[in-house]
C-alpha cells in the first residue's frame, strides 16, 4: 500500500480551532485540518507553512507537533504530522481550495463531519485541552 506523507496545521485563535471543508476529491464536503503533502527536500515544518500559504493565503507561526497520525484509507496509508500553529500578526484567511471554514470552540469539535484520519486528531486535541 502506498504511503502519503502529509502535514496538517491545528491553527488556534484563543481556544478556537480552525476547521476547513474539503472543496475537491473523493472526500469533498468532509471537514479537515488544512495542510497537504510534504514535497521532496522539505521538512514537515516547511511543508505546513507552504501548504497554509497555498490553501489559505495565510502566514502562520508553527509551534510544537501535537500528534503523528498513521491511518489506513482503502487505497493508501496516511502518515500525517499535525502541528499547533497561530496566524501571524496581520495575517488573515482566504479560502483558495476549501468550500468553507469555521472556528470551533472545544465543545463544538464534534459538530462537523471530519475526515476519518482527522477524527484521531480531534482525540489528541481533546486529550490536551
Q: What percent of the chain has pLDDT over 90?
A: 95
Q: For each of the domains in the chain, give its residue range(s) and CATH number, in order of start.
A: 3-128 (3.90.79.10)
- The structure's pTM equals 0.94
pLDDT of 129: 60
E strand or H helix at 104: strand 98-104
Per-residue pLDDT tens digits for 25-50: 989 999 999 999 999 999 999 999 99
Q: How many CB atoms lie within 10 A of CB 12?
A: 16
The three cell numbers of residue 49 are 507553512
Backbone angles phi and psi of 11, in degrees to 5: -85, 120
Amino acid at each position: 500500500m502506498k504511503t502519503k506523507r502529509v502535514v496538517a496545521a491545528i491553527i488556534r485563535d484563543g481556544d478556537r480551532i480552525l476547521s476547513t471543508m474539503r472543496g475537491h476529491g473523493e472526500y469533498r464536503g468532509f471537514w479537515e485540518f488544512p495542510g497537504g503533502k510534504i514535497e521532496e527536500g522539505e521538512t514537515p515544518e516547511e511543508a505546513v507553512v507552504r501548504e497554509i500559504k497555498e490553501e489559505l493565503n495565510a502566514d502562520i507561526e508553527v509551534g510544537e507537533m501535537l500528534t503523528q497520525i498513521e491511518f489506513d484509507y482503502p487505497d493508501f496509508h496516511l502518515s500525517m504530522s499535525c502541528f499547533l500553529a497561530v496566524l501571524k500578526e496581520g495575517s488573515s484567511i482566504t479560502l483558495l481550495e476549501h468550500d468553507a471554514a469555521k472556528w470551533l470552540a472545544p465543545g463544538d469539535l464534534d459538530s462537523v463531519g471530519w475526515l476519518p484520519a482527522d477524527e484521531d486528531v480531534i482525540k489528541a486535541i481533546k486529550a490536551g485541552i
